[in-house]
Amino acid sequence: MTLRACQKCNCGFSIDENVVKTLISLVSTHPELAKQREPGGRVYRALARDRRLRSVIDSARNSDGNYELTGQLLVSVDRVMRKTIQGLFFGLYERFVSASEIEPLWLVDQRFMTADQVIDQVRPSPLRDITDEQLPAITPASWPVREPIFFITMKSAQSQERVQRIFRLVRETPVEWVEFQPDVFRFAFVRSEDGRAVCILDLWKSLLVVVAAPWPDRRGPLRRGKRNPLSRERRRR
């Protein structure tokens, strides 16, 4: 996916992109990236010649060898991820989202947390309290026909009084990943509890970047003349 950009935007992220690429290479277990940080590799050479890049990386390195999102490293990751989400939204939905509407939430090392675990954290609980809601009319298409209902007795923490609540078990649709480059870059959108679109970026099967943005009010083409990879038409094929 390529998008038009002015020279300032196209060139204004160079140091930030170098920082992010270097960070991914340093923490990744991917064989191709592991080679880049060895003597003679691209990352090894970049750190040797670029004093500014080396300073940013060294200032974020902990004594145990891991990295902490702080200082300029945090600024670079934040800028690159906001820009990436802006590009995805424009390419997918033909909608411009300002940087102020985008909120980076987490940067996750996949050595410690999987993509499925991140999705479980982002998605609302499948059990929804419907005690005080009016049930819809029962039709073949209504949710009570498809989803189970549970009556659960609960105890109040304050009064110890027992109350009965009714919960609906919402059947979530599977998360579909859009893979642009196998093992390099894929992403998925998940709707959060507050109704935002949370984009999960999987980078080199090494880092997961979780970024929230407004839920798009309509779907658009990936680019002119090509289908949107998130469209229902694609899912049916």
Q: How confident is the model at residue 230 (pLDDT cuts 50, 70, 90)?
A: low
Q: List pLDDT tens digits, range 45-73.
A: 999 999 999 999 999 999 988 899 999 99
* CA dist., res. 201 & res. 186, Å (int): 6
Q: List pLDDT tens digits, range 157-207.
A: 777 788 899 998 887 778 889 998 889 999 999 988 888 999 999 999 999
Q: How many contiguous H segments (helices) and E segments (strands) does the chain have?
A: 9, 8
Considering the entire predicted model, what is its pTM?
Answer: 0.77
The percent of the chain in helix, strand and coil, each rounded to the nearest 5, is 35, 25, 40
How far apart, in Å, are the Cα atoms of 87 and each of 3, 9, 75?
Answer: 7, 12, 18
Q: Are 220 and 228 in contact (CB under 8 A)?
A: yes
Q: Is the pLDDT of residue 1 over 60?
A: yes
140: its two tokens: 């073949």
Q: List pLDDT tens digits, range 119-158.
A: 999 988 888 899 999 888 888 888 888 889 999 998 877 7
Report the pLDDT value the prediction gives residue 234, as an integer from 0 to 100. Answer: 47
Report the pLDDT value the prediction gives residue 115, as an integer from 0 to 100. Answer: 93
